[in-house]
A and B are shown apart, each in its own frame.
Chain A
Amino acid sequence: MAHSARRDSPELPDFSILKRLARDQLIYLLEQLPGKKDLFIEADLMSPLDRIANVSTLKQHEVDKLYKVEHKPVISTSDQLCFLIRPRIQTVKWICDVVNTDKVPGKSRRYKIIFTPQKFYACEAVLEEQGIFGDVSIDEWPFYLLPLDDDIISMELPEFFQDNFLAGDQRWVRTAGSALHLLYSLYGPFSKVYGIGRCSKMAYESWREQVEEGEQKARQAEIGNVFLIDRDVDFVTPLCSQVVYEGLVDDIFRIKCGCVEFGPDVTASDKSVKVMLNSHDKVFSEIRNEHFSNVFGFLSQKARNLQTAYDKRRGMDIKQMKTFVSEELKGLKQEHRLLSLHIGASESIMKKKTKQDFQELLKTEHLLLEGFEIRECISYIEEHINRQVSMIESLRLLCLLSITENGLLPKDYRSLKAQYLQSYGVDHLLTFSNLRQLGLLVEQQPGETLTVMESKVGKLVNDKTAGKLTDAFSSLAKKSNFRALSRKLNLVPKTDEEYDLRVPRDMAYIFSGAYIPLSCKLIEQVLERDGWTGLEEVTRLLNGHEFAVTGSSGVDSRGKNDTQRIILVMFLGGCTYSEISALRFLGREKGYKFIVVTTAITNSSRLLEALLDNHV
């Protein structure tokens, strides 16, 4: 990688403690139920659990058989059942069924439910309603945070987004606060906390409450500042196609809990291979943040280097050969294996993404971001729907269109919606209702045809006045105001210059130089200004709820330099790999180290799938 990283980058704190802590807590809970027991694990807890404690660890603590929670009758013969679940009512109901089925023939077993990361009263209420509250013992496993990589920590709570932003259910806010508190008690005190968004503010308050309740220990801070941000502050970024390697891999192969499964088309054999993607993978760590167009060049360079390393063997005497075999060969082999996997993956991506239509798709996205040739974009989207390219992709483009344009014209809105419903079934009427609720896909109110007005005015007068006019027009709450924000924060670089993706100028490189992610730009600005001063207009457009609080520790912010430059960014509602790449770039430029904490890793498909109304 050609970036000139600043040498004085601070060291990241060691997050493996979080894993050890979680494992010890789990083992303690398992030991509370002595004797052999069968363990039922919620399906989406399988992978996170695997990162914490593998099967043999569980077996050591008398777990006999492991089952996935499948909402089916159980076939276990063990007389002790342990359920490790998320606090979801459906799962609890299933457990009630299991217990009640056992009761009919008078079978007696011991049941234990371990809720993670916490229990909810509603779950207990269900147990009570079904009359089995006394039959089960309940515990909480405070497994809030799973470190996915040196600088990524995930709460693995994808439902946070849906529950909080769509359903307005704030039950997870406290969980987020607790997670922050855990980080605070291990790596704090923080010297400053910034944030934007309603949920962020509530999570912050919940955390403060917990700080005040608990005892305070004076310790060496390992994290300087904290930035909390709601996902609904910036919907544009996660809706864009990702073109940085790690993001692309996520978009195409879906990275699950820091691990990806490459299918036969990648491995060039008939087996699938599971690969951990993190900084321990030497090849991957060098290409993860690269724009895809550079990846191939890099990989082939790497292959040549590898070959040279192998070639060293020639002309070696026996002794040299011996040291080579014992010291280098293993590493080279490992690297070789990874290299071939990533080359395979890249080829597979190339096949899918470098076709004509992907280029056109990107072009449309860029046009939408820039706000040019909207009519062409609309007809492109229309064709996209009509040809049934992809249900999610079409929806994504529609949302992107709506957000960047502050809603669709009623005529377009109706026709596009009708087309979409004809293509993918009328049940998506509910999906549209969800999208409207979130403000992702809305209809412009009559008299508010901003784009039309704006484009007319824009042609007549210069940009500045048009900006003012835009501001004057934007008043309603659920509006994205993307255009105005973009202008205020310079999110879309000027297109007339050629953007050299090899030597990125700014964070826009993660979208081929077309757009600087709003979320990351906000973080950059706030850190630079040490607060929200000068950004009043921006926060107004973002609908407020911003805050900046200096920590109680009273540490002088100019004091300990190294920790001050370690910034914890917490995304409430998920963040994408592209955003992480952008923050890494920002860190390298400014000498920060970012730690990303997120409720879950997301991307456009996950985001939209969460909003589909799947009628179960």
Chain B
Amino acid sequence: MSWSLRDGLRDSLVAAAPYGGPIALLREPQRRSPSSRPQLEIYSASGGTIASFPWKSGPVVQLGWTVSDELLCIQEDGTVLIYDLFGSFKRHFSMGQEVVQSQVMEAKVFHSPYGTGIAIVTSSSRFTLATNIDDLKLRRLPEVPGLQGKPSCWVVLTQDRQTKVLLSNGPELFILDNTSCTVVCPPGLSPQDGNIVHMSVSFSYKYLALLTDSGHLWTGLSTLQEKLSDVDTKKTMAPKQMLWCRRPKSQQPSVVLMWDRLLLVVGVCNETIQYPIEDPCVLVGEMDGVRIISSSNQELLQEVPLVCQDIFKIASMAPGALLLEAHREYEKSSQKADEYLREIKEQSMLGEAVRQCVEAAGHEYDTNTQKSLMRAASFGKCFLTDFSPDQFVTTCRELRVLNAVRDSSVGLPLTHTQFKQLTLQVLIDRLVYRQFYPLAIEVCRYLKIPDYQGVSRVLKHWASCKVQQKDLTDDAIARAVCMKVGDSPGVSYSDIAAKAYECGRAELAIKLLDFEARSGEQVPLLLKMKRSQLALSKAVESGDTDLVYTVVSYLKNEMNRGDFFMTLRNQPVALSLYRQFCKLQEQETLKDLYNQDDDHQELANYYVTASYREKRLEGRLSLLQSAVDEYNKAKNEFAVKTTEDEMRLLRFQRKLDDEKGAGLLGLSLQVTMETLLSLGLHKQAEQLYKDFRVPDKRYWWLKLKSLAEKEEWDELEKFSKSKKSPIGYLAFVEVCIKCNNKYEAKKYVSKVTPEQKVKAHLAVG
């Protein structure tokens, strides 16, 4: 251990996380004088200091680690404070109001498939459970009959997707679940054995060990259905700690008990092993053993795996052992190598031998032993034809990774079994969390993990961490990030920028956003940072109109109208998009928009459009008048005149409608004249012709057609003679022919100009 503890582990509250996790240490938690505050220290599993700070909150009852390496500090008043690995405070929650008065007597942190949970017992002998602290639901368990103060011992069990508390009060054993409290009696444990003073449940919650004050150790299934063994330890003093020591498919499950100076390993048979200890120690239960932490060193106590036993047992004849021996002889250039090999081959166990060596190498901690086992395996492999090298290769790789993380500078003492359980992904996450970025990247590269899950992910975390470094300038960080991250796939600059913004570095965030290739990704953050102008131009740049519209509608709600319009004015794309929307949704806004822009032409057009929707004549006229005003401002004289004409025409039509019921309102000038003529109102038509300065040609065509259609031939003749026809007389001929009146047509043939005479004659036939 690289730490140097002044007072050892004495008088300290210690919590170490399984899977080679970090160690938290709170010295003299009960000392309550305000003058000297206890120190909370966080170490890596190898004793490297990670964080250290004085404890300023209330008295702590229990420390614990969550599955995601967060430190839980449970206080006497039921408040739970959560710190991260680096000792920075994250959040806190309370275990319930009633705890504040009654105080927490004891607390336990436990892990279940649902995450990390906390169980407490109060001085009023009530238990409260929280199965998952990330999704906090407090459950107050029912009262235990006859229990005063805290129980003599208790554990948390998770069985059948239920979390229960097993507790003892004197010789009695209770199971406490959500609704009830039941007395239970483990098979084979008689009340004469005494009071239960200590209990322990295995890592997998499958096995239970109970210790009575008479020194009896009962082990069995945690369902209390079956007894495994019953051993008399002959120790009547309660141990400081009692833990299971087993591994998956354990042959020799055992329980480890620790007193001040003694460590006792009790197996299923009656034999016990005793280890004297000098320093106060702390036991940490792992899935495949027990970690023993003392102030000077750390040890792993575990049942020797079967393969290792087979190979290293004295005078073992297992194929693996023979292979190892064969290789050793081979190294010495001794012919014995061949003998050993032959022996294995004769039993046709060479494949098995290689497998054993590879597996054993995985379990070994010492690199030299690993090497010799792997070499032996590789040696044996040469004599096999179709042996799949996969296992050999993966074990080699994994061992390299494991050896790297076991290094005391990293301090993740994982066994191979733990590593398999933890998975590589989680290991990388843990490395990243501990900020071992280069190592994490190396691991990813070495194990050829796809960039997206591997290197890129690490880089992303690195960058997010980098932007939090307060001592560097924005420029330096931006440059560093850009250099490292480059354009690795799957690393989003906008995510990094968002992190920077969270840390209050808006300028840096903007710099980082510039590296983002997809402008669409930049927009949401820019909006959040209230850089709306920039967001808008980025959105326009992206060419994604939906995005532009998102920004526009955001701006609409954020800004006052004037600023909003001004912003839009600088962005024609956004402006026309918004206009389109307003045309359909908010006509009034459209008007304001034009007004703001002093776009009199469009404003006038707007009024004209509006006038068509207006049913009443007065309303229509006033809208048209507004249009005229705007056209005037736009210096569009032509439009002014036409609009005024239109107003005049409307009034005229209204008058005639009132007088004669002609139904003219809204018709065009031409159609009005046509209708008038067909109604025989020649005088009024004439008036329009003069008032609106209708071109002669048009009027003549109109009148000609209308008279011919009504077959008023006399009138037509009169009209033809009224003055010289501006449209010539061929038209007369043609129109007459169209109305099937050859006789009338002939009248005009003579008047047709010489050039068109042929046509006229042809038409008449």
Name A's B-contacting residues (CB within 8 A).
89-90, 93, 120-122, 125-126, 163, 167-171, 173-174, 202, 205-206, 209, 382-383, 386-388, 414, 417-419, 421-427, 429-430, 433, 613, 615
Contacts and interface: CB of A to CB of B under 8 A. Distances in A.
B642 A429 contact: yes
A173 B670 contact: no
Interface stretch (B17-25, B34-42, B412-420, B542-550): B542-550
B377 to A, nearest CB: 40
Nearest to B577: A169
Contacts of B695: 386, 419
Contacts of B448: none
B576 A169 contact: yes
B275 interface: no
Nearest to B731: A387
Nearest to A202: B543
Main secondary structure of the interface of A (DSSP, over half): helix
In the A-B complex, the 4 residue pairs with the smallest Cβ-Cβ separation, listed nearest first, are A425-B668, A168-B576, A615-B612, A171-B545
Nearest to A385: B698
Interface stretch (B62-70, B397-405, B490-498, B578-586): B578-586
B668 A426 contact: yes
A500 to B, nearest CB: 29
B579 A89 contact: no
B1 interface: no
Contacts of A425: 667-669, 671
A120 B545 contact: yes
Main secondary structure of the interface of B (DSSP, over half): helix
16 contacts: A89-B585, A120-B545, A121-B550, A122-B581, A168-B572, A168-B573, A170-B573, A386-B697, A386-B701, A388-B670, A419-B695, A422-B670, A423-B668, A425-B668, A427-B612, A429-B608
A425 B612 CA distance: 12
Among B576, B613, B701, chain A packs the most CB atoms within 10 A around the CB of B576
B674 to A, nearest CB: 9
Interface of B: 518, 543-547, 549-550, 553, 572-573, 576-577, 579-581, 584-585, 601, 605, 608-609, 612-613, 638-639, 642-643, 645-646, 649, 667-671, 692, 694-695, 697-698, 701
B638 A383 contact: no
Contacts of B581: 89, 122
Contact of A125 (B553, B579, B645): B553
B179 to A, nearest CB: 38
A120 B572 contact: no
Given A89-B581, A122-B581, A126-B585, A170 B643 contact: no
Contacts, number: 103
Among B573, B609, B646, B668, chain A packs the most CB atoms within 10 A around the CB of B668
B93 to A, nearest CB: 32
Contacts of A170: 543, 545, 573, 577
Contacts of A382: 697
B670 A424 contact: yes
Contacts of B670: 388, 422-424
Contacts of B585: 89, 126
A383 B642 contact: no
A111 B584 CA distance: 23
A425 B553 CA distance: 38
A427 B624 CA distance: 11
B697 A174 contact: no
B609 A615 contact: yes
Given A89-B581, A168-B572, A424-B670, A417 B549 contact: no
A425 B605 CA distance: 15
Given A168-B576, A169-B576, A171-B577, A430 B697 contact: no
A495 B518 CA distance: 54
Nearest to A424: B668
Contact of B545 (A126, A174, A383, A613): A174
Nearest to B693: A418
Nearest to A413: B638
Given A169-B577, A613-B609, A419 B698 contact: yes
Contacts of A386: 695, 697-698, 701
Among B550, B579, B608, chain A packs the most CB atoms within 10 A around the CB of B608
Contacts of A426: 642-643, 645-646, 649, 668
A167 B642 contact: no
A433 B605 contact: yes
B669 A169 contact: no
Contact of A422 (B579, B613, B698): B698
Given A169-B545, A382-B697, A421-B669, 8 more contacts: A121-B546, A121-B550, A170-B577, A386-B698, A421-B642, A422-B668, A425-B669, A426-B646
Contact of B546 (A120, A206, A383, A421): A120
A421 B639 CA distance: 11
A570 to B, nearest CB: 17
A388 to B, nearest CB: 6
Contacts of B550: 121
A93 B583 CA distance: 13
A173 B697 contact: no
A350 B697 CA distance: 30
A122 B585 CA distance: 10
Contact of B639 (A174, A202, A427, A429): A429
A92 to B, nearest CB: 10
Contact of B543 (A93, A168, A173, A418): A173
Nearest to B688: A422
Among B549, B667, B698, chain A packs the most CB atoms within 10 A around the CB of B698
A422 B543 contact: no
A206 B546 CA distance: 13
Contacts of A430: 605, 608-609
Given A418-B642, A423-B670, A433-B601, A167 B545 contact: no
A382 B698 CA distance: 9
A478 to B, nearest CB: 15
Contacts of B692: 422
Contacts of A419: 695, 698
Contacts of B701: 386-387
Contact of A90 (B546, B584, B697): B584
A469 B550 CA distance: 49
Contacts of A126: 585
A126 B585 CA distance: 9
B643 A120 contact: no
Given A90-B584, A169-B577, A121 B549 contact: yes
Among A89, A168, A421, A426, chain B packs the most CB atoms within 10 A around the CB of A426
Contacts of A89: 581, 584-585
A422 B609 contact: no
Contact of A167 (B543, B580, B612, B694): B580
Contacts of B601: 433
B298 to A, nearest CB: 48
Contacts of A206: 543
Given A122-B581, A418-B642, A205 B549 contact: no
A387 B670 CA distance: 10
A433 B594 CA distance: 15
Given A167-B579, A422-B694, A427 B572 contact: no
Nearest to B519: A209
Nearest to A124: B546
A471 B598 CA distance: 35
